Amino acid sequence: MVDSLNLVFSFLYQFGDAFAFLVLSACGLAVIFGMMGVINLAHGEFIMCGAYVSTRAAHAGVPMPLAILLGAACAGIAGMIVELLVIRRLYQRPLDTIVATWGISMIVTQGMLILLGPSMQGVGTPFGSFVVGGYSYSVYRIILMLSAVATLAVLWLMFTRTRFGLLSRATIQVPHVAEALGVNTNLVYSVTFGLGAALAGLAGGLYAPTMTLVPTMGASFMVEAFVTVVVGGADIFLGTAPAALILAVIKAGLTSWQGQLAGQIGLLIAVIIVIRILPRGISGKILRERG
Amino acid sequence: MDNASPLRRTLALIQGPQTLGRGRRFWAGFAVVLALACAYPMFADSYDVGNNVYFFNWLFMALGLSLIWGYGGSLSFGQTAFFGVAAYCYGVLTINLGDAYGLTLFSLVLAVACSALFAAVLGYFMFYGRINGVFLGIVSLSVTLVLERFMAQTAGPEWAIGAARLNGFNGMGGMPSLTIPWPGGPIVLYPDLPLYYLTLALLVVIYLGLRILVNSRFGNVLVAIRENPLRAEMLGYDIRRYQLMAFVIGSALAGLSGVLYTSWGNYITPASMGMTAAALPIVWVAVGGRGDLTTTLVGTLLVLIVFQMLTIHGSQYALVVMGALLVVTVLVAPRGIVMALVEGAMRLTRRKEAR
């Protein structure tokens, strides 16, 4: 009885861990895609930016939570600059934005390698671990799970309860009408892109203590982020969150059965099957049934 | 035209509405370039010849991407996945079968077929799932990245197919080069004269073949789908089938690149499929002008040469320049830099003629 409870806890922990990773790595990508129809291939580089800045700050003595927020802020500012310089000119051509952001990704990855060298010293994972039924679990992973849920909650409040949320929802629904009613749509796009980049930076800051900091670290988030967005579709709350729930079950199951890579391959196969059945993702399906 | 033989009608498609370059002047230029390419080994040492074969190896992948992306309008980021699949297949097959009796050529065909089959399966799910351009790109890229990670973890001795060890991140080596059985002893195609001419011949055949393909009915439908998928569908074409076919052909060409590369260097690593490697074909084709086979060919060759020069002189900055080139191309000349130059030149000559 106790054994099976331990097993259940172990699976829940794995599931929560997978869920947190999927939500945190995907929500920045999903915000930008859902609002602007742009897939940001430099997403991984904003994650890397957040991780590097927060680690630097932590080394300089800034307390951990503040350092992470600083990382997110820096990534957000970087995102707004990128939007201003490149993305803004490409709104009419969504396919070209993918290509352009890929170019940015190459520049940043290689540029960081030249500027800061092949790796950077990380901060160790804080808070130690606790033991349940003979297995030890990391406390920090629990914090990551809570952060993922908190991030979703804050985003939900932001999009449903604030003025920015109202303006941005108006802008995605019918951009021209929003513009005619006096919404500065350019500003909304710019802020949205910055928000997406900041969310990527947040993911980077949160995961920085758990991984090695290399300029190509962004790529290790990409598959999960892509898969979640493809399965979820364009809406963050109706799409990304439920997609992360479903995919986390698949990933946790396969990972505990066959290892990390099997989890990833399983995700990919799941996504290829899902696009055959639900081409517009979960949120597309829900929205069509509702409308 | 109507009573001409089918062969002549097919050959007449070598120039048409979907390809730049027609008439006597273009083909005279083509003949001059081809003659120069044939004469090149007489003026160059064997290292340069081998290096040129290296450039040629990549052109097949670029032409394939031009067909998928430029003509078909489907954003595929998975060229290096098919490159890798065919490369590893060739390695495994030749290490196990050996290089006698023309078995390397058999392996070449089988490896390219493997990548085409993989493309057909993946493409079936993508195109018949009717996912749009953006998702097509990220799904194909995800497949590529996962494939890279899969190959990178095959380091242990349990990862062996027959006598071929996959060797994980370090890559697989020691496979024989392409070998042609010949009465007076087999010709092993090391990166030298015979391989140069073989690759060049293959390139010319594929280039001309693709020209015929894109000017044929198939190519016209493909372009119609790129311009307006809904209209093409309303006209009664099964757009999924056409896009899938273009995807399979283009991916098989990437596979051919993979086999030639592996045979050229007797070596293949998972890194040849990774994020950076996957970006490079996009750079070549975007900079050249994806909408036309000739500009793709010229652009790819130019970018490859510049990239190699940069790697030699400013090693680390080469990739930064490639990224910047991509961004600038998208912003300034979205149809490709070589394409923009060609169009500019054509406009100039037309204006002169008008006067």
Measured distance CA(A123)–CA(A125) in Å, rounded: 7
Q: Measuring CA to CA, which residue among B85, B83, B92, B104 is closest to residue B160?
A: B92
Instruction: Chain B: give the shortest CA distance to residue A102, in Å.
Output: 7
Lowest mean pLDDT among A2-16, A190-204, B45-59, B292-306: A2-16
Question: For the residues B310-314, what does the mean pLDDT come to?
Answer: 81
pLDDT score recorded for residue A199: 93
Residues of A in contact with B315 (CB under 8 A): none
Instruction: Chain A: give the shortest CA distance to residue B353, in Å.
Output: 35
Partner residues linked to B172 by β-bridges? B268
> Can you read off the two tokens belonging to residue B45?
């040492």
* Interface residue A160 vs chain B (CB under 8 A): no
Lowest mean pLDDT among B127-131, B142-146, B323-327, B351-355: B351-355
Measured distance CA(B305)–CA(B312) in Å, rounded: 11
**Nearest chain B alpha carbon to A223:** B142
Residue B306 and residue B72 in contact, taking contact as beta carbons nearer than 8 Å: no
CB neighbour list of residue A115: distance below 8 Å, 6 or more residues apart: none
Torsion of CA A87, A88, A89, A90, to 10 degrees: 50
Q: Measuring CA to CA, which residue among B244, B224, B246, B243 is closest to residue B234?
A: B224
Domains contained in chain B, CATH given: 20-37+48-354 (1.10.3470)
Q: What is the value of ipTM here, to two decimals? A: 0.83
Residues of A in contact with B275 (CB under 8 A): 105, 109, 216, 219, 222
Instruction: Chain B: give the shortest CA distance to residue A10, in Å.
Output: 26
**Cβ within 8 Å, pair B324-A261:** no
Residue B89 and residue B110 in contact, taking contact as beta carbons nearer than 8 Å: yes
A66-118 pLDDT, tens digit per residue, is 999 999 999 999 999 999 888 888 887 878 888 899 899 989 988 888 888 77
Residue B215 and residue B15 in contact, taking contact as beta carbons nearer than 8 Å: yes
Alpha carbon B199 to its chain centroid, in Å, reads: 13
* Interface residue B121 vs chain A (CB under 8 A): no
Point out the residue among B125, B150, B324 whose CB comes nearest to the CB of A107: B324
Residues of B in contact with A228 (CB under 8 A): none
B61-83 pLDDT, tens digit per residue, is 999 999 999 998 888 888 999 99
Torsion of CA A123, A124, A126, A129, to 10 degrees: 170
Tokens 């600038």 — which residue?
A: B328
pLDDT string in tens for chain A (291-residue length): 777 888 788 888 888 888 899 889 888 898 888 888 888 889 999 999 999 999 989 888 888 889 999 999 999 999 999 998 888 888 878 788 888 998 999 899 888 888 887 777 777 777 777 877 777 788 888 888 999 999 999 988 888 888 888 888 888 778 788 888 888 888 888 888 999 999 999 999 999 888 888 888 888 888 888 888 888 877 777 788 888 888 888 888 887 777 777 887 888 888 888 777 776 777 777 776 655
Q: Measuring CA to CA, which residue among B100, B262, B105 is closest to residue B171?
A: B262
**Cβ within 8 Å, pair A268-B143:** yes
Question: Count of CB atoms within 10 A of residue A157's CB?
Answer: 11
> E strands along chain A, which residues?
129-132, 135-138
* Interface residue A277 vs chain B (CB under 8 A): yes
> Bigger pLDDT: B222 or A291?
B222
pLDDT score recorded for residue A289: 66
* Interface residue B322 vs chain A (CB under 8 A): yes
> Over 70: is that where the pLDDT of B186 sits?
yes
Query: Between chain A and chain B, how many beta carbons pairs sit less than 8 Å apart?
Result: 128
Measured distance CA(B84)–CA(B257) in Å, rounded: 9
CB neighbour list of residue A109: distance below 8 Å, 6 or more residues apart: A45, A48, A215, A216, A218, B275, B276, B319
Q: Measuring CA to CA, which residue among B150, B138, B272, B279 is closest to residue A224?
A: B138
pLDDT score recorded for residue A201: 93
**Cβ within 8 Å, pair B145-A223:** yes
**Cβ within 8 Å, pair B139-A226:** yes
Residue B221 and residue B232 in contact, taking contact as beta carbons nearer than 8 Å: yes
Instruction: Chain A: give the shortest CA distance to residue B124, in Å.
Output: 9
Q: Residue B129 — pLDDT band, cuts 50, 70, 90?
A: confident
Mutation pick from B80, B130, B135, B321 vs chain A, by most beta carbons of A within 10 Å, is: B135
pLDDT score recorded for residue A290: 59
Residues of A in contact with B311 (CB under 8 A): none
Among A91-105, B142-156, B246-260, name the most confident range. B246-260
Residue A194 and residue A36 in contact, taking contact as beta carbons nearer than 8 Å: no
> Bigger pLDDT: A167 or B117?
B117
Q: Measuring CA to CA, which residue among B57, B124, B137, B63 is closest to residue B90?
A: B57
Residues of A in contact with B274 (CB under 8 A): 219
Question: Count of CB atoms within 10 A of residue A48's CB?
Answer: 29
Phi, psi of B267 (to 5 degrees): -165, 140
Measured distance CA(B273)–CA(B293) in Å, rounded: 24
Domains contained in chain A, CATH given: 2-284 (1.10.3470)
Instruction: Chain A: give the shortest CA distance to residue B276, in Å.
Output: 7
**Cβ within 8 Å, pair A219-B275:** yes
Lowest mean pLDDT among A116-120, B54-58, B207-211: A116-120
Residues of A in contact with B283 (CB under 8 A): 103
Q: What pTM was computed for the model?
A: 0.87
pLDDT score recorded for residue A118: 79
> Can you read off the two tokens belonging to residue B48?
């340069």
Question: For the residues B257-267, what does the mean pLDDT come to?
Answer: 89
CB neighbour list of residue B243: distance below 8 Å, 6 or more residues apart: B72, B74, B123, B127, B222, B225
pLDDT score recorded for residue A78: 93
CA-based torsion, A261, A263, A268, A273: positive or negative: positive
Q: What secondary structure does DSSP assign to B107-170, as a single string?
A: HHHHHHHHHHHHHHHHHHHHHHTT--HHHHHHHHHHHHHHHHHHHHT--STT-EETTEE--GGG
Distance in Å from the first CA to the final CA of chain B: 34
> Can you read off the two tokens belonging to residue A11?
């699976």
Residues of A in contact with B317 (CB under 8 A): 110, 114
Question: Which element (helix H / strand E) includes B180?
Answer: strand B179-180
Residue A230 and residue B139 in contact, taking contact as beta carbons nearer than 8 Å: yes
Measured distance CA(B41)–CA(B33) in Å, rounded: 14
What is residue B182's three-state secondary structure? Answer: coil
Residues of A in contact with B70 (CB under 8 A): none
Mean per-residue pLDDT of chain B: 86
Q: What secondary structure does DSSP assign to A140-168, as a single string?
A: HHHHHHHHHHHHHHHHHHHHHHSHHHHHH
What is residue B27's three-state secondary structure? Answer: helix
pLDDT score recorded for residue B60: 94
Question: For the residues B77-94, what does the mean pLDDT come to?
Answer: 90
> Residues 179 to 208 of A: which have CB under 8 A from any B CB?
none
Q: Residue B3 — pLDDT band, cuts 50, 70, 90?
A: low
Measured distance CA(A47)–CA(A76) in Å, rounded: 10
